[in-house]
Chain A
Amino acid sequence: MKGTWEGERDPLAALRRGEPALFEAFVEREAATLIGFFARLGAARDEAEDLAQDVFLKLYRHADTYEPRSAFTAFALRVARNAWIDRRRRRAALPPTRSMHAPESGEGEGLEADLAADPSVEGGADPGRRSVLRDEGFALARALRTLSPNHALIFELAVVQRRPYAEIAGELGIPVGTVKSRVFNALRRLRALLEEGDPRS
């Protein structure tokens, strides 16, 4: 998360007090964070928006019964993670309609599609650098989809959001050593996949 949403700045606690401004600021600030989170996990752009919207709606509707026992950021990310797991379960329950070698419907389009449409990648001044960035971006997007939900969540908190390990451990209720090893394993796996090229090959 980009902002600080703990303590007095807890958006749901503020909603319970009848102050919607903090929740609106939370939506304003973290919309891109949540959409990016789902896109990195492999959701297509539209689906990532839908999932992010569902997370905001769940949080908002949960405000009446919300008790700030833990950090709000961790709570919001747990809701996001559960939304992603539910989405994967729904997808798994659907009958397969595509080739085994084809990516899951809706996946392989998220970050890759963003990269393909990103003018900073496509329109850079150096064609060689542009190509490298684009290739690395595609490979990384594919590699990220191979992470388990737990590793993906840790990766999101540690690598993307650069939150201290101790804080992540406290939020997720796991030892710091576990956080440290999961982050390193996730990164090592990504590095290996990037070195191999296409992780599906």
Chain B
Amino acid sequence: MKELPEHTHTSGEDLLELLFEPGPRSAQLLARARTCERCASEIVELERTLAAIDAALDREPASTDLTVFRSRVLSMTTREDLRLIGDVRIVLHYVTRELKASRALRLAAASLLLHLLVLPVLIWLVLRGGPDNSSSGTPRDHAPELPLSGAPIDPRREPAPAAKDKDDAKRAAAALDPSVATALAAARRALLAAGAPSLDPDLGDPDPISRLLAARAERIRLGAWMHLLREPPPRAQALERALWAELLLDDCALAGRADPRLARALSALEEVSRAATPGARLAQRAIDRARAYGLLDAPASGAGVQPTARAALQPFDPAWFDLLEAATAGAQATRTVERWLEWGRGARVRPR
């Protein structure tokens, strides 16, 4: 600090420096300067200006806001949370800040949120309208529409995926042999309309014939059979093989696609169908039914089912029940077989 001269005039810059610099020396020099009218006026002006500035500048932000600010800075520096939640917090802060700053961004975010909220509702509405979500009904009501797969049905192929919508089903129907389609549709109608014999409460019946008949009833009434069925062994009787094939044919008519095991079942029937026993004749009926569904080629002799007769070949008719009764007559009839025969004798289930 340079020594002020004895005379009264002092520059504004020096006076300001004296005002900033506390201490007895500055006070003494200022007192001396105030004796000069011009310098005193300058000092007063400077003091007024500084007072006004101090009044405005000394106002600091609210302490609560500063607490949040300090925490935020520390959380991004020395106390940075290196876990995932720390990153999420930083991103959220950034997003919040950007949203506050931009009205366009706020509008875009609101639009996105609206779409995200509406989308699940739309999906729900679309799914709710589907055939699988009907609120009530018997298992019959859940039966798929025929035909569900591409046609003609080939049991040697893997099961085709189910049609995704009604348009697919219509296209598949158009591609299907009309007589086969008619036979399948008629069989399906017959299965659904006939219902099935009431289930024997004794489902643990060890007899394979009873188990197969119970499985047919379950497939028709419940949409699936509960028994763990195995393919009949090579030395199985013709009746057992025929019922196994009939079960798979029921499934084919109801589901619209052939079980892969059906090809083997039909092939096995060929061997046992040549005899003159009731079981063999039942086997032959199953073969005819498979032909009606387009699953087997017509025999070269032309002795198979004629196309005009296909629609008339029903899963259950008096002849079939007569053959069943004849085939089971020699053995001790189980409760399940009896129920089936009783059901077959009933007038209401006699084929139309």
Q: Mark A11-26, 1 if CB is under 8 A from B, else 0.
A: 0000100001001100
Chain B residues, Cβ within 8 Å of A121: 59
Chain A residues, Cβ within 8 Å of B27: none
Q: Are A28 and B12 in contact (CB under 8 A)?
A: no
On chain B, the number of residues with a Cβ less than 8 Å from chain A's Cβ atoms is 32
| Stretch of B71-79, B115-123, B127-135 on the interface side | B71-79
Q: Are A27 and B49 in contact (CB under 8 A)?
A: no
Q: In chain A, what residue has the closest Cβ to B59?
A: A118
Indicate if A180 sits at the interface (CB-CB under 8 A): yes
Chain B residues, Cβ within 8 Å of A158: 20
Indicate if A79 sits at the interface (CB-CB under 8 A): no
Given A57-B73, A191-B45, the answer on whether A36 and B61 have CB atoms closer than 8 Å is: yes
Q: Mark B51-69, 1 if CB is under 8 A from A, else 0.
A: 0110111011100001001
| Neighbour of B73 across the interface among A46, A53, A114, CB < 8 A | A53
Q: Are A184 and B12 in contact (CB under 8 A)?
A: yes
Q: Are A52 and B57 in contact (CB under 8 A)?
A: no
Q: Are A184 and B57 in contact (CB under 8 A)?
A: no
Indicate if A183 sits at the interface (CB-CB under 8 A): yes
Residue pairs across A and B with CB atoms within 8 Å: the count is 99
Indicate if A153 sits at the interface (CB-CB under 8 A): no
Chain A residues, Cβ within 8 Å of B61: 32, 35-36, 39, 45, 114
Q: In chain A, what residue has the closest Cβ to B52?
A: A136
Query: A interface, by DSSP: helix, strand, loop or mixed?
Result: helix
Indicate if A201 sits at the interface (CB-CB under 8 A): no
Q: Mark B68-105, 1 if CB is under 8 A from A, else 0.
A: 01101110111100000000000000000100110000
Q: Are A111 and B66 in contact (CB under 8 A)?
A: no
A90 to B52, CA, bound (A): 32
Smallest distance from the beta carbon of A183 to chain B beta carbons, Å? 6
Chain B residues, Cβ within 8 Å of A114: 59, 61
Given A180-B17, A184-B12, the answer on whether A24 and B59 have CB atoms closer than 8 Å is: no
Smallest distance from the beta carbon of B159 to chain A beta carbons, Å? 62
| Neighbour of A111 across the interface among B13, B56, B79, B101, CB < 8 A | B56
Query: B interface, by DSSP: helix, strand, loop or mixed?
Result: helix
A128 to B14, CA, bound (A): 34
Chain B residues, Cβ within 8 Å of A60: 77-78
Smallest distance from the beta carbon of A142 to chain B beta carbons, Å? 11
Q: Are A190 and B77 in contact (CB under 8 A)?
A: no
Indicate if B21 sits at the interface (CB-CB under 8 A): yes
Q: Are B52 and A50 in contact (CB under 8 A)?
A: no
Q: Mark B290-312, 1 if CB is under 8 A from A, else 0.
A: 00000000000000000000000
Indicate if B46 sits at the interface (CB-CB under 8 A): yes
Q: Are A24 and B78 in contact (CB under 8 A)?
A: yes
Q: Are B78 and A20 in contact (CB under 8 A)?
A: yes
Q: Are A160 and B52 in contact (CB under 8 A)?
A: no
Smallest distance from the beta carbon of B319 to chain A beta carbons, Å? 90
A187 to B59, CA, bound (A): 19
11 contacts between A and B (CB under 8 A): A24-B79, A31-B66, A32-B66, A52-B69, A53-B72, A53-B76, A114-B61, A158-B20, A159-B50, A164-B20, A194-B49
Q: Which 4 residue pairs are nearest across A and B when measured between Cβ atoms?
A: A20-B78, A137-B56, A60-B77, A184-B13
Extra contacts besides A36-B57, A133-B55, A187-B49 (9): CB < 8 Å: A35-B69, A40-B57, A56-B73, A136-B52, A136-B55, A137-B59, A184-B12, A187-B16, A187-B50
Spell out A's residues near B (CB within 8 Å).
15, 20, 23-24, 27-28, 31-32, 35-36, 39-40, 45-46, 49-50, 52-53, 56-57, 60, 111, 114-115, 118, 120-121, 133, 136-137, 140-141, 158-160, 162, 164-165, 180-181, 183-184, 187-188, 190-191, 194
